[in-house]
Structure formats: structure tokens, C-alpha cells
Structure 1
Amino acid sequence: MPRFGNNASMSIDSDVLDLCGIGLGPSNLSLAALLAPLDDVEKVFLEARPSFSWHPGMLLPGAQLQVSFLKDLVTTVDPTSRYSFLNFLAQHQRMYRFLIARRDAPVTREEFQQYYAWVARSLPFVRFGQRVGAVEHDGDSFVVRVGQQQQVHARNLVVGVGHQPFVPACATGLGPQVIHASEFGTADPPSAGRRVVVVGGGQSGAEIVDHLLGRGDELPAHITWVARQHGFLPLDDSAFANEWFNPQFVHQYFQLPDQVRRRLLERQRTASNGISEGLLERIYRRLYEVDYLSAARVAYRLRTSTELVGLTRTGQGLRVTLDDLISRQRETLDADLVVLATGYRHVVPDFLRPLLGADDLADVKTNLDYSVRWKGAALGAIYLQNGAEHTHGIADPNLSLGPWRSATIVNSLLGREVYRTGAAESALWPAAGAAGSSADGKDAPLIVSLAKELTERTDEGDELHLIDLTSATDLPTAPFQASWWTVSPGSATQVDRHDAHEIWLVSAGVGRFTCGGETAEVRGGDVLRIPPDTAHRIENHGTEVLSVYSVWWG
């Protein structure tokens, strides 16, 4: 059973909503689009900005997506959704022009911004200009305080407010001549004839350098591009690297020890933080043209294996201090403008800190369904969008798995499979998300010889063995029902919820049991109690089959 009611006409001013979404970036917009057809869910999504805006400071001319346009808000889990990118093209009567214009080129971010804004305008339960100041729980529901007076009450929360721009300590408080990349496009700082330093060797830094080199007659006098990496590294967009952006890899990664996760995450960075190969080639071509073909000249230096360690004001300019990470030598240079493509911090939003008791997202324990473990989890669920890279892997902040993550949250909220999120095709990773069992019945328990055994085959092809005690001729009518099943290594059961009392007896194996928002490690010999109307599931993170007997009544 879902943990909410059925008043589809409820509005933001209603007593208690089923779900309040805070923030409306692509992650929560995906969730909102997948929830839109579900009339039995009373929901609202609050966004502080006056309209939908996706990284407006980085919507530079020609900036392109690093993923396929099919990885939009919905298509990978619901290709029939009216909120797909292809339907956006069809509704605006530009499908054929798009197919011709983009037959061998990625989609621009500007076009996806148009698509996102179109979806946001189509959703009646989205509210813009609503900045959340605080969130509390009154024992019955979350109280979301908006502005000075307005309150929203909701049984569950999903938070997707994004990350905060990271500015090195040495670069703070220096005025408009030092700007983070996230503000570059909107601030449009003057660069013609000036000495510009771009700090950051990822995609954002490359896009800014490319933009500066393409300004024609308004070129900077000098560009210094600084990267800590040992080179301007290309995005690893190879076939097997893309398997890391598969739902099955999330299951694999989630089961790893924390220390192993951290090491693996660093080794995979170029699959998310690398620079698009076409962009690298375009920058190199422009530098060649500047050196040999163009009348408009700009001096430049490319500094890899180099770190920004100091930044101070000197009259009308700036003094930049750099450390060479290989030679260990320090140098200083003068600049008129410094652009910091230094990424973002993973922090807990201010309004959420009192509930979670943490400042850093890395300190927040997140379940496989993206709900967080907090002291009031039995009272209501808090889900995090784009905040679980440390537990769910490199794909978490990427657009690739946005729809799958949102579908996982939908299924968890409703306690049933609205969208299929289980077995996904993968060349590397075994299917997860469904309980497995031995089809030949060799592991059947002794009780099956005393009663009729019914075998049900699920949509995924797995078997669940039900023990029908009521139809056995040599037993009295039993006041309970029973079953037995196994979970293969790397797999998990779907989230279940029902009115009955239930007891699980783990006969063999090890796993992670989640019930009512609480999670515990279990192994053979453990007895697990499941109260009525409580969402529950079990994962097998061991190497042996996990066997479970189930008894339920009431």
C-alpha cells in the first residue's frame, strides 16, 4: 500500500500533501514528469527561481550535451510519455529539421533548456518563485516553510536543489573580477583586450576557453588555462565505460565497501568530468589558427599539472599564484579576470541540516531507493536527487540515469512497481532487482512435502514458491500463509508493502534488510519482523544464495 491518500484535487494549500518536491532542476523535473500521470498522488514541486533555468551561466553558444538526447527526462523508463524530448520536437513541428541538423552532432544545451522549460510549463503542480526557508516535522507530516507565512504540509519529501559552486578559499571576496563558471554566461564579464586566467581542466573550463577564443575582434590579450590534471583529458565515452551509467552498475557499486567505492570513483572520473573530444579538437584548431592563420592575435599559455594556491588584488588587477605539481616550483602572473571552473560542493541544504544532522552529503547514509536514513524515517521519507554519488556511483550527478532514479523513487513512494526499474540489459553486470530461485526445486524446504506447493513465475522469469497450507488434506486449516524463496548474489527483491503481519526467517546467506526506512545487515539464522503497512525489501550483497522462509497472517 502507498503511504498516502487519494484526493487528486488537493492543492498547495491543502492540509497534507503526499509529496513535496524542493528544487526543480532536471532531476526533480524528471520525477515530476513521471508522477504527472498518477492522479492518486497529491504533489507539489517548489522552485525558488521565477522560471525554469538550467545552469544559465553555462548556456554558452554552441555548448553541447555529453549524452544522447534519448537520455531526456522520461524516455529510458517510459518511451510513451508525453514529456519526452521527441514529443517536444513533434509538438513544435521541428522533428525533420532536427533530424537533418543533428544527424551527426550532439544536441545543444540551449535546445535541452527549451525542452525542460516546456515540460515545466506543462505541469500544473509546479510552483516557481517559492524559496524554502526551513523544513520541520511536527510528528504527523513535514512542514515546509515558504517565505514569511506560507507553509506546505507533506508526508514525504524529495530534495533536488543541486550543488553549491566551489570557490577556493584564496579566491573569495575579491569582487567582480573573480567569477565562478556557473555565473560566466549571465555576468558576461568584459574580456576583450584583457588578461584572463581560466582555472579548471574539465568540460566547463574548456567551454569557457572555447568561448573566449571565438570572440572574433573582441579577443582577450592573453589567456592562461590552468588544470590540476596531468593533461586536458578527454571524456571516456567508450562503450564499456558507458556501462557505468547502467542501472545494474548502481546495484553493484552500492554493495561495495566505502573504501572500495572511493577508489573506484576516482578511477572513473574521466567518464564524467572529461572534456568532449570534439570540443578539444575545436580548441586546438582555434589555437592553430591564432598562431598561423588569423590576423587577430591572442597570446596564451596552457598549464597542466598546475594548482591555484593564491589570488590577491594589486591595484586595478589581480596577482595569481600557481604551483607546478611536478616540478614543485611556484610562479606568479598578473590578470584582469579570473574564471573559476572549479566545480561544486556536495553539501546538505541549510533547511535540511536540522533533520539530517549533517553538513556534508558524504555523511548522509542513503538507501538504494535514494531515501536517506534519518531518525524520523518511520514518520516520513526524505529522498535525495543528485546527492548520492558516494553510495550510488559516478552516474548519480549525470543526466544518464535521471529517469531511472526518479522511477526508483516513484516505486518506493507507492510501494509498488509503477515503472520497471529491475532487470536492465548490460554486457558487464548481472541483472538486479528481482528475487531468484532454483528452478529445479532442489532447495525446497521440508514443509513442502506436507502441503501443496504453488510456483508463480514473475514477469522477469523468476520463481516464487508459495506453500498453500489451507488446501493440504492431512493438515487442519492454518491461520497463516507461507512461502520460500531465494535471492541470487547481486540481486534484490522489489519493495513490498501490505496489511498483513509477516515474519522472515533467513536460513542461509547474507544481505541487507530494509524495513520502514531502517536498514540492517542480516545473515542465516536471523528472524525479521515486518509490521503491517511497512515498505520492505532485502538485497543479497554476498557471494552465496540468500534463502528466506516467509510466514504471514492477519
Structure 2
Amino acid sequence: MHTYDFVAIGAGPFNLGLAALTEDLPDIDGIFLEARSAFDWHPGLMLDGVTIQVPFMADLVTMADPTSRFSFLNYLKQVGRLYPFYIRESFYPLRAEYNEYCKWVATSVSTIRWDTRVDTVTHDGEAYLVHAATGETFRARKLVLGIGTAPRVPAAVDQGPYVHSADYLPNKAELQQLDSITIVGSGQSAAEIYLDLLSEIETYGYHLSWITRSPRYFPMEYTKLTLEMTSPEYIRYHQALPIQTRDRLGREQRNLYKGISGDLVDTIYDTLYAKSLTGPVNTTLLTGTALTGVIWDEAEQRYTLALHHEEQDRSFTASTRGLLLATGYAPRLPSFLDPVRDRINWDARGRFDVTVGYSVDRNGDEIFVQNAAEHTHSVTDPDLGMGAYRNSVILKGITGREIYQIEESIAFQQFGAPTADLPRQLVTS
């Protein structure tokens, strides 16, 4: 049986970037297995006119190899859109445009096997055996897990025909036929869906509510010194912290990467202001309010939501026919890894114990993960702009050599206390 250098499971943006970065490397033999029949990135949220939240340089390859033929700029050139993009004068591609770019890369690389779902992974004593539902088995020395995240549904929601934001567009028309729609969530997706439904509120006549547990509608913090947290230095600093500290920071830092773009917050306000000229807008916005329970009345086709305002410590209920959960995504622990669980390091809370080099196996150089290390690598883990960096590090772990230059020090600021006392500063008057 042929033995690959690595088998990568999943072909989302991060593993797709790895496929692009290895496509033209003749001495690296890897294969990518994807259950879907083609690439499609968040189709349920492909709203007209929305942009991704990172600049175009945060494509699949540029931050590792600016000369790559798989860059976003080369895609624009190949499809005849480079000059229009230049004239547009915006660093931020449309979300649909980014999706089309990824599809272009996905059809340009030769190492992806579509319609190949992985059933189980075993180890024969020398290499990993990846068994697919097609009946095929792929043998490799290393694994790269890039299966993505799964929609997160609050524990309180266990009944009724709720819709997660991941499935918004296929369900939009049905939602708009209801007399009331409630959005639960606080991030960019919640804001985009709220604005989309708000724009047509008079046409359909529904009552639109937006409820968030956050104390306010947080804008994403996007100042330059804060952006330095997406750096190799911050990765090393955060990954070395105690697990309790990392988890606390994960809760405190959500607005750094799960907030709403400031322009979108302003657009929502301006839309509400314009619509209020002819009278009150049929909408409710509630902050600091947690969803604590749900009752679905099948006969009435209506939800009763149990809510709790945390600052006032008051509980109350709300009624709605439509419930849309913009509650984000969570890492998946795939069952296909069960036969090799004993080869993997787990933390005290049952999550991958991810090293600074993105490996999770006991040897430290066999199993690597994509977008499954937010609890160890913080804001850098889901960031599209760090994907090429991570793939450079993973490739070094797979091959033992630095194929793409890995920038280790890019921040002006220092994270953490210095290793020695700072020198006395001279003060003159």
C-alpha cells in the first residue's frame, strides 16, 4: 500500500490553503479527503454585499508565499476583476467573492478527493490508516485535521423548528411569513441577519427582536496594537498560560474577534433612524439578556422564551414564532479518531492539548489540527489571516524543514512580564 507523507481530512479554507501551498512541491506527497462534493463556504450566510472581516492579503497563501499562483490577486487577474477591485479601493473582499476565490483554488489543485467521507482512523504500528466510506484506505505517516466547526446550539434550546444562522438563507422566506422573529446572538452573523430582516420589516409586517447576552452590541476591536495579538509572539505567550487563565481570557476577549464590524453597527442604527421617521419601528433590541429556557407549543406554533436580564437579576418571558440562533460554532471531536485516542494528548477538560506547533499527538509531530485550538491559541485560531502562518508551521512539523519562511517576531509590544527587571529609567527635569 502506498504511504503518503500526510493525509489531510477536510477541505475547508485552512486545509485548502495547505493544499495550495503543497501543490507545487514535488517532494511532498499529501492527499486531502473531503466528504462534500465541492467547496462551498457558509452558503447559508452568503448575503448580498457583505464582506469578510480581514483584508485580501489574508487569502489562502499570500502570508506564507506572496509569489504563489493561488493568491487572491492572481484569482482576480485570471477572472478579469483585478482593475475593478483596484478601483473599488477596499481591502475587504465580498464574502461571495472570497467563496468564489476558494472554489477557484479548489478546482485548481490536484490533491483533493471529493465525496470521500472518513469513517475511522487506525494505526498499524508504523503509520496511520484512514478508512473512507468509499471502501478505500489511505496510509500516511502524518495527519492534518481540518474538519471545521459545528453550529453551536444553546443547551436551553432542545425543541421546536429553530434555525441556526448557518442555515439562514434557505429558511429566510419561511421565517418572513411568520408574525414574529427573534434573533439570539451577539456577533457579526447576528448583526448581518438582523439588518437583512430589518430592511424588509414593513413588507412582511413581522415583529423583529434581537436578544444578546452581551452587555452591549460590541464592535470588533480593530486597532493596530490589538491586531498584534494575531502574532507568533502572542501565540507562544497564550499557549504557555495555565488552562484556567486561557479559558478566562477566551471569555473576556470575544469582542476582539467575535464582535461586529463598526460600520455595520452604524448602518443598523442609521437604518433604524430612517425607518423611525414614519413612526415606531416594530423591533425590540435587548442586551445583557440570557436565554435560559425554551418551550415550543406545537398547537400554537409558537415559542415561549425564558429570559434573564443579568445586570438587574430579573427573569421574564417573550413569545415568538420564529427563533434564529446566531450562537456561533464549536470545535468538533470526530468519532473517527476513537481508535487512536490513546495516541492523542487531551487537556483536563477533554479538549485537544495543542502544542505551539499545532500538534496534538504524544510524539508531537504526527497529528496536526486546523481551527481546533481556540482554547490554546486564542484569537489567532479562527483568524483567516493566520491560516497561511499555521500551514507554514504545520509543514515544518511534517517535513522537518522550513519550506516557507516563518516570521517569529512581528510585534512591537511585549506580551507577559520580562524575564529580568527592566533597567531604571533616567528622568531629567
**TM-score under structure 1 normalisation?**
0.71
1:543 to 2:403 alignment: no
Partner of residue 552, structure 1 = none
* Residue of structure 2 equivalent to 1:131: 117
2:182 pairs, out of 192, 197, 203, with 197
The question of whether the paired residues in 1 share the 8 Å contact of 2:178 and 2:321 is answered with: no
Of the candidates 324, 343, 354, which is equivalent to residue 339 of structure 1?
324
The size of the alignment, in residue pairs, is 414
Query: Displacement, 1:356?
Result: 2.7
Q: Call closer, same or farther: CA 1:362–1:64 in 2, change over 3 Å.
A: farther
Partner of 2:75: 88
The match for 2:61 is 74
Q: Is the CA contact (8 Å cut-off) linking 1:18 and 1:154 kept in structure 2? A: yes
Corresponding residue SS for 1:130:
coil
CA distance in 2, matches of 1:143, 1:260: 37
The answer as to 2:242 corresponding to 1:257 is yes
CA distance in 2: counterparts of 1:40 and 1:173, whole angstroms: 52
Equivalent residues in 2 for 1:15-34, closer than 5 Å: 15-34=2-21
Cα deviation code 1:431-471 (max 9, x no counterpart): xxxxxxxxxxxxxxxxxxxxxxxxxxxxxxxxxxxxxxxxx
Matched letter for residue 189 of structure 2: S
Residue number in structure 1 paired with 2:295: 312
CA shift at 1:403, angstroms?
0.3
8 A contact 1:388–1:396 mirrored in 2 = yes
When normalised by structure 2's length, the TM-score is 0.91
After superposing the two structures, state which structure 1 stretch, 212-221 or 178-187, moved more.
212-221
Q: Deviation at 1:371?
A: 0.9
Who wins on radius of gyration, i.e. which is larger?
1
1:302 aligned counterpart, secondary structure = strand
CA, structure 1 residues 220+387, in 2 after alignment: closer, same or farther (shift >3 Å)? Answer: farther
What percentage of residue pairs aligned between the two structures are identical?
A: 36
Matching residue of 2:352:
364
CA contact 2:288–2:310 (8 Å) conserved in 1 = yes
The answer to whether the Cα contact below 8 Å between 2:159 and 2:296 also exists between their aligned partners in 1 is no
Structure 2 stretches of 5 or more lacking a match? Answer: 421-429
Report deviation, 1:293.
4.7
The CA deviation string for residues 224-259 of structure 1, in whole angstroms up to 9 with x for no partner, is: 101001010100001111000122221222232323
C-alpha deviations, 1:108-146, integer Å up to 9, x for none?
A: 111000001100110111111111111111112211111
Residues 191 and 218 in structure 1, CA contact (< 8 A), matched pair in contact too: no
CA offsets 1:138-177 (integer angstroms, 9 cap, x no match): 11221111115221111110001111111122322423xx
Instruction: Please tell me the root mean square deviation across aligned C-alpha atoms, in Å.
Output: 2.3
* Cα gap change, 1:332 to 1:180, in 2 (>3 Å): same
Match of 1:404 in 2: 389
1:142 to 1:157, Cα distance in 2 relative to 1, 3 A:
same
- Determine the C-alpha separation between the residues in 2 that align with 1:34 and 1:281: 38
**1:303 and 2:279 equivalent?**
no
In the TM superposition, 1:493-508 aligns within 5 A as none
| Pair 1:237 & 2:113 matched | no
Cα drift, residue 97 of structure 1: 0.7
In 1, Cα distance between equivalents of 2:305 and 2:240: 44
Please tell me the residue identity of whatever aligns with 2:95. Answer: R
Q: Distance in 1 between matches of 2:349 and 2:111?
A: 28
Contact 1:221 1:298 in 2 (8 A): no
Contact 2:188 2:260 in 1 (8 A): yes
- C-alpha spacing 1:361/1:413, structure 2 compared with 1 (3 Å): farther
Q: Offset of 1:362 from its aligned partner?
A: 5.6
- Structure 2 residue 340 is matched with structure 1 residue 381: no
Deviation string 1:203-230 (CA, Å, 9 cap, x unpaired) is 1111110111123764451011010010
- 1:185 counterpart = 2:169: yes
Which of 1 and 2 has higher RCO (CA within 8 Å, sep 6+)?
2
Letter paired with 1:147 = A
Aligned partner of 2:419: which letter? Answer: T
Larger deviation: 262-271 or 303-312? 262-271
- CA drift at 1:41: 1.3
Output one character per residue of 1:502-540: Cα deviation in whole Å (capped at 9) or x when no partner. xxxxxxxxxxxxxxxxxxxxxxxxxxxxxxxxxxxxxxx
Q: Which has the larger share of strand?
A: 1
> Does 1:147 find its partner at 2:133?
yes
Distance in 1 between the 2:50 and 2:347 partners?
33
CA distance in 1, matches of 2:405, 2:317: 56
Note if contact 2:116-2:134 (Cα within 8 Å) is conserved in structure 1.
no
Match of 2:39 among 38, 48, 52: 52
Work out the CA distance in 1 between the residues paired with 2:49 and 2:127: 45
Quote the offset at 1:300 in angstroms: 0.6
Q: 3-state SS of the aligned residue for 1:400?
A: helix
Amino acid aligned to 2:33: L
Whether 2:33 is the aligned partner of 1:157: answer no
Aligned to 1:393, what secondary structure does the other structure show? helix
Secondary structure, in 3 states, of the residue corresponding to 2:229? helix
- Match in the other structure for 1:463: none
Q: CA deviation at 1:368?
A: 1.5
Distance 1:123 1:104, change over 3 A: closer
* 1:298 to partner: Cα distance: 4.9
Could you tell me which residue of structure 2 aligns to residue 172 of structure 1?
158
Q: How much does 1:334 deviate?
A: 1.6
Letter in 2 for 1:306: T
Instruction: Extract structure 1 runs of 4+ deviating beyond 6 A.
Output: none
Larger helix share, 1 or 2 = 2
| Contact map agreement 2:62 2:71 (CA 8 A) in 1 | yes
Aligned to 2:254: 269
